[in-house]
């Protein structure tokens, strides 16, 4: 199944952004912002960033026309319980988090189990930019320009056997560096999982950067998952282990709150949560509430994965 | 009615969180998610103020000081103010009075129902805190106002259900509430310090005039 790209999108999502295109786009953006400045309005962002390296991003939108969230908000407002349950503390507490050297072990039901360090990953898999909406289960959302590569490429590389039904992901366990992991309320390390067809979907990304830069620690450096049609907590951060398995993995949140968090966690305004609105959301940087879209607006791309399934029981 | 020093101090302290919040709103420094931050901030301030109010009488008795008793009303009133602002932020700033958004949420979410009930029953307490009405009510006033014990319990349930992550923070609040309740038990009512240091009395006399 191929992702369709609306013509309105400035950066074609599934194409490598060539140097020429980047320069051309930067010129276009600069002239657009000059034009906007001369009219005395800047409709693109509520928090204008003066840094010229952000200029190319600040006027971009996702395929629905939603402007990209300001970089300062993306790196300053995160959920990363390994550091803190506060949204702003991870930025401070993760500042000195060591992500180099880093390696990811990929094993389980594969023909080619392997441990790759970040250099291997960077040279083996060509990254591209993808602008995705990110919907947190807590009722807020952002539009993020990721840099990454489809998880399917990595899966091709390790060749799952025919027995592999699910992919299990694990975050690094390092309480020395991650103070939140000393909190006994949670069964660390963080675990997430995807069904094989979800993992192989072209939208499913392994991200290494945001806004053209490497990921910050609080955003899940050096490598994280991004599954844009699921609630943000599925997009596991700072991955060290990817295992192909037969049985459905049990995620950290399924263990902690089985009635609130299921395996699928697809964005769905029809499935309530006891604390947060799933019918509506606040887009960070924009004013006012907006309606939440089924599968976070990626219904056309992913609805077929769940055909015949009751999404209320398979939440 | 004479206004005492402790009442002036109480009012100034009560205004500080509001001024601080306003300052952060006006300087556009209220986090990436300002409505969320303002909601949580006003809610926390409200519950802290209500707990202070609950501790006023038992502490007065225990330490034989009038000063605590005199901030009971101020703390209670500010608890109501911040709860009201908390509610207004929710229905107005957050949900834009959009009933098609609010009603389904209210139907689904127990914590919202509890919060609304808590605020609803705080209203008559705030109104009957007006001195003239209080006098007219006479002995009934005390009965009306003893409902605060149940109201704070409802509000604490609202807090616990709305809390994310582990429940350490709501557990601390509930523990404080229980302590304030235990101090009201009949056999503890007579417990108090016998020889308060003289400067205790001096400060008390100074603040309460």
Residue B24 is predicted with a pLDDT of 95
Q: Are A176 and A82 in contact (CB under 8 A)?
A: no
**Cβ separation B111–A275 shorter than 8 A:** yes
Show the domain range for A159. 19-306
Does A203 fall in a domain?
A: yes
Chain B CB within 8 Å of residue A275 CB = yes
- Show which residues on chain B lie within 8 Å of chain A, measured between beta carbons: 31-33, 35-36, 94-96, 98, 101, 104-105, 108-111, 161-162, 164-166
Site from A75, A255, A275 to mutate, B interface, most B CB atoms within 10 angstroms: A275
Which stretches of chain A score pLDDT less than 70?
1-53
Residue A51 is predicted with a pLDDT of 61
Does A314 fall in a domain?
A: no
Query: Using the 8-state DSSP alphabet, how is residue A235 labeled?
Result: S
**Cβ separation A289–B161 shorter than 8 A:** no
Q: Which of B3, B4, B11 is nearest to B77 (CA)?
A: B11
**Cβ separation B31–A275 shorter than 8 A:** no
Give the span between the Cα atoms of A200 and A195, in whole angstroms. Answer: 9
Residue-averaged pLDDT of chain B: 93
Residue in chain B nearest A279 by alpha carbon: B101
The residues facing A195 across adjacent strands are A166
**Cβ separation B165–A185 shorter than 8 A:** yes
Give the span between the Cα atoms of A288 and A300, in whole angstroms. Answer: 26
| CA of A287 vs chain B CAs: smallest distance (Å) | 9
Residue A40 is predicted with a pLDDT of 35
Query: % helix / strand / coil in chain B, to the nearest 5?
Result: 80, 0, 20
How does residue B1 score in pLDDT terms, banded at 50, 70 and 90? low
Q: Are A152 and A202 in contact (CB under 8 A)?
A: yes
**Cβ separation A289–B96 shorter than 8 A:** yes
Residue B151 is predicted with a pLDDT of 98
**Cβ separation B31–A285 shorter than 8 A:** no
Residue A77 is predicted with a pLDDT of 97
Give the span between the Cα atoms of A240 and A228, in whole angstroms. Answer: 21
CB within 8 Å of A115: residues ≥ 6 apart = A103, A104, A105, A106
Q: Where do the domains of chain B lie?
A: 5-190
Residue B166 is predicted with a pLDDT of 75
**Cβ separation A275–B164 shorter than 8 A:** yes
Q: Which of A220, A221, A247 is nearest to A235 (CA)?
A: A220
Residue B65 is predicted with a pLDDT of 85
pLDDT in tens, A40-91: 333 344 444 456 667 777 779 999 999 999 999 999 999 999 999 999 999 9
Handedness of CA A255, A105, A179, A210 (dihedral sign): negative
- List the beta strands (DSSP E) in B46-170: none
Q: Which of A5, A57, A1, A16 is nearest to A201 (CA)?
A: A1
**What CATH code is carried by the domain that includes residue A116?**
3.90.420.10
**Cβ separation A284–B33 shorter than 8 A:** yes
Residue A76 is predicted with a pLDDT of 96
Give the span between the Cα atoms of A164 and A45, in whole angstroms. Answer: 44
CA distances, B27 to each of A54, B20, B36 (Å): 23, 11, 17
pLDDT in tens, A98-112: 999 999 999 999 999
Q: Are A219 and A210 in contact (CB under 8 A)?
A: yes
Does A5 fall in a domain?
A: no
Residue B4 is predicted with a pLDDT of 87
**pLDDT average, residue stretch B86-106:** 97
Interface pTM (ipTM) of the complex? Answer: 0.88
Find chain A residues with C-beta within 8 A of B101's C-beta.
Answer: 277, 279-280, 289
**Cβ separation B161–A280 shorter than 8 A:** no
**Cβ separation B96–A81 shorter than 8 A:** no
List the single residue in A88, A274, A277 with the smallest CB-CB distance to B31.
A88
Min mean pLDDT across A52-61, B21-30, B147-156 is at: A52-61
Q: How far is CA B50 from the centre of its chain?
A: 2
A160-174 residues labelled b (16+ CB within 10 A) or e (exposed)? beeebebbbbbbbee
Residue A50 is predicted with a pLDDT of 53
Give the span between the Cα atoms of B78 and B89, in whole angstroms. Answer: 16
Chain B CB within 8 Å of residue A269 CB = no
**Cβ separation A140–B36 shorter than 8 A:** yes
Find chain B residues with C-beta within 8 A of A85's C-beta.
Answer: 164-166
Residue in chain B nearest A282 by alpha carbon: B33
**Cβ separation A279–B105 shorter than 8 A:** yes
Q: Are A269 and A315 in contact (CB under 8 A)?
A: no
Q: Is the bond into A222 cis (omega within 30 degrees of 0)? A: yes
pLDDT in tens, B112-142: 999 999 999 999 999 999 989 999 998 999 9
The residues facing A242 across adjacent strands are A106, A169
List the single residue in A138, A272, A285 with the smallest CB-CB distance to B108.
A272
Largest CA distance in chain B: 61
CB atoms within 10 A of CB A129: 22
Residue A52 is predicted with a pLDDT of 62
The number of distinct structural domains making up chain A is 1
Residue A10 is predicted with a pLDDT of 44
Q: A with B: how many residue pairs have Cβ under 8 Å apart?
A: 52
How does residue B187 score in pLDDT terms, banded at 50, 70 and 90? confident
Q: How far is CA A19 from the centre of its chain?
A: 24
How does residue B164 score in pLDDT terms, banded at 50, 70 and 90? confident
Chain B CB within 8 Å of residue A137 CB = no
Does A312 fall in a domain?
A: no
Q: How far is CA B11 from the centre of its chain?
A: 13
CB atoms within 10 A of CB A20: 8
pLDDT at B173 over 80: yes
% of chain B at pLDDT higher than 90: 74
Give the span between the Cα atoms of A270 and A274, in whole angstroms. Answer: 13
Q: Are B206 and B5 in contact (CB under 8 A)?
A: yes
How does residue B205 score in pLDDT terms, banded at 50, 70 and 90? confident
Residue A241 is predicted with a pLDDT of 98
State the distance between the two ends of chain B, measured CA to CA, in whole angstroms: 12
Site from A277, A291, A315 to mutate, B interface, most B CB atoms within 10 angstroms: A277
Q: Are A248 and A292 in contact (CB under 8 A)?
A: no
Residue-averaged pLDDT of chain A: 87
Q: Are A46 and A70 in contact (CB under 8 A)?
A: yes
**Cβ separation A279–B101 shorter than 8 A:** yes
């Amino acid at each position: 199944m191929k992702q369709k790209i609306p013509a309105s999108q400035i950066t074609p999502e599934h194409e490598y952004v060539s140097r020429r295109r980047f320069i051309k786009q930067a010129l276009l953006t600069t002239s657009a912002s000059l034009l906007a400045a001369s009219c005395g309005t800047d409709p693109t962002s509520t928090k204008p960033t003066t840094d010229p390296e952000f200029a190319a991003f600040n006027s971009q939108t996702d395929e629905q026309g939603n402007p990209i969230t300001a970089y300062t908000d993306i790196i300053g407002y995160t959920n990363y319980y390994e550091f803190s349950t506060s949204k702003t503390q991870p930025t401070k507490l993760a500042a000195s988090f060591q992500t180099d050297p880093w390696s990811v072990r990929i094993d389980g039901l594969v023909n080619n189990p392997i441990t790759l360090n970040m250099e291997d990953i960077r040279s083996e898999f060509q990254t591209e930019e993808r602008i995705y909406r990110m919907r947190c289960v807590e009722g807020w959302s952002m539009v993020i320009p990721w840099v990454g590569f489809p998880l399917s490429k990595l899966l091709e590389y390790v060749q799952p056997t025919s027995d592999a039904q699910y992919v299990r992901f694990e975050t690094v366990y390092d309480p020395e560096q991650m103070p939140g992991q000393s909190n006994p309320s949670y069964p660390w390390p963080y675990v997430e999982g995807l069904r094989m067809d979800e993992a192989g979907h072209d939208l499913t990304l392994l991200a290494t950067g945001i806004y053209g830069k490497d990921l910050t620690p609080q955003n899940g450096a050096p490598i994280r998952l991004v599954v844009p049609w699921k609630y943000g907590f599925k997009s596991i951060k700072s991955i060290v282990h990817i295992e192909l398995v037969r049985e459905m993995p049990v995620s950290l949140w399924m263990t902690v709150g089985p009635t609130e968090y299921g395996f699928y966690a697809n964005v769905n305004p029809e499935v309530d949560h006891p604390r947060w609105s799933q019918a509506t959301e606040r887009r960070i940087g924009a004013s006012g509430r907006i309606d939440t879209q089924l599968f976070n607006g990626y219904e056309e791309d992913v609805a077929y994965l769940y055909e015949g399934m009751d999404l209320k029981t398979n939440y | 009615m004479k206004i005492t020093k402790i009442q002036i101090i109480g009012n100034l302290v009560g205004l500080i969180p509001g001024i601080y919040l306003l300052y952060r709103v006006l300087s556009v420094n209220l986090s990436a998610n300002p409505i969320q931050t303002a909601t949580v901030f006003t809610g926390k301030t409200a519950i802290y103020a209500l707990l202070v109010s609950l501790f006023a009488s038992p502490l007065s008795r225990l330490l034989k000081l009038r000063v605590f008793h005199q901030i009971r009303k101020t703390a209670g009133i500010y608890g109501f103010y911040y709860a009201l602002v908390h509610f207004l932020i929710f229905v107005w700033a957050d949900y834009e009075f959009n009933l098609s958004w609010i009603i389904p949420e209210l139907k689904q979410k127990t914590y919202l129902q509890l919060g609304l009930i808590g605020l609803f029953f705080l209203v008559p307490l705030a109104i009957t805190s007006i001195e003239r009405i209080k006098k007219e009510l006479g002995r009934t006033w005390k009965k009306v106002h003893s409902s605060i014990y149940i109201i704070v319990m409802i509000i604490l349930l609202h807090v616990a259900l709305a809390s994310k992550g582990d429940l350490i923070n709501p557990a601390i609040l509930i523990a404080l509430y229980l302590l304030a309740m235990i101090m009201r038990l009949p056999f503890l009512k007579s417990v108090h310090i016998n020889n308060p240091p003289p400067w205790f009395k001096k400060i008390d006399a100074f603040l309460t005039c």
